[in-house]
Amino acid sequence: MQQILSNSNKTIKWVKKILCDPKQRKKEKFVVGETKKVFCTLCEDNKKKFVKIFVTKKFFDSNYLLLKKFNNILIILSDHLFKKISILKSPDGIVFVVAFEVAKLDFSKNANYFGVVDLQNPNNLGAIIRSIFAFSIGGLFLIGNCVDVFHPEVIRASMGYVFQMPIMLFKDFYSFLKFAKNNKINLLALANKNNATPLSKYKIKTNNCFLLGNEGNGLKNNIIQHCHQTLKIEIKNVESLNVIAVASIISYYLKHENNKN
């Protein structure tokens, strides 16, 4: 166990760089996460390798047994210094650096997938990952200008399940379209259009990818035109649903209907 007192310490500067710079995360294959809940989720995965763990004295005193086996990589910080490496307004007292490896897709399974296009909000992406993982969705495709999948807010919002969800990145929709055709994946657009098929009338199959647009504009028409079918969730009183709600509803519906069949 170690204690750091200076803001100019090399280790603190290193953590800040990983925290703020996606290129540095990609280069080193390390990411920064925080909160006790996410840490405990990752502890359940024996393959997950923690590199450094930073805690406040208060957190250490309250969680000694949890931290005991990590003594050789544990660093205690003052509350003031701890806030320098936390993205939260009210941190609970633990920040950690962990090595990452993206889970790989397994096309041998009969599964359904989700794709998100130009999604910018890290909290939305993290919450989507958590929801679709809960309902056994086979994988997630990030298409176009999406937020970094290992942004600290994505890790926190996903509760750490971002490390277990198979994810693939595509620079634009047309490279993804080629991939989908090669792997015989049907594309289903989610859009609140008058001519869209209600989700309740959709005949459940596997090897489909449900495409969601970004927070502000949804899916563009040129993307919808390349999809096999357009689906909508029937709603009243509001114009549209948040992208997290859409992903959660569809994931639950797929799980429920497949269990019936």
Read off the pLDDT of residues 38-57 as tens digits, 9 standing for 90 and up: 999 999 877 779 999 999 99
Residue of 20, 32, 86 lying closest to 59 (CA atoms)? 86
Structure tokens at 93: 């007292």
pLDDT at 259 over 60: yes
- Report the topology of domain 2-99: 60s Ribosomal Protein L30; Chain: A; (3.30.1330)
**3-state helix, strand and coil shares in percent for the chain, rounded to the nearest 5:** 40, 20, 40
CA gap 32, 43 in Å, rounded? 15
**Does the 113-260 domain belong in CATH 3.90.1150.10?**
no
pLDDT interval class at 131 (50, 70, 90): very high
Give the single-character DSSP code of 166. -
Share of the chain above pLDDT 70, in %: 98
Which of 244, 241, 220 lies closest to 232, judged by CA?
A: 241
Q: Domain coordinates of the chain in residue numbers? A: 2-99, 113-260
What value does the mean pLDDT of the chain take?
91
User: Residue 251 contacts by C-beta under 8 Å, 6 or more apart in sequence?
Assistant: 114, 131, 132, 134, 135, 137
Q: In what order do the strands lie in the sheet with 113-117?
A: 167-170, 139-143, 113-117, 208-212, 186-190, 229-232, 197-198
The model's confidence at residue 256, banded by pLDDT at 50, 70 and 90, is confident
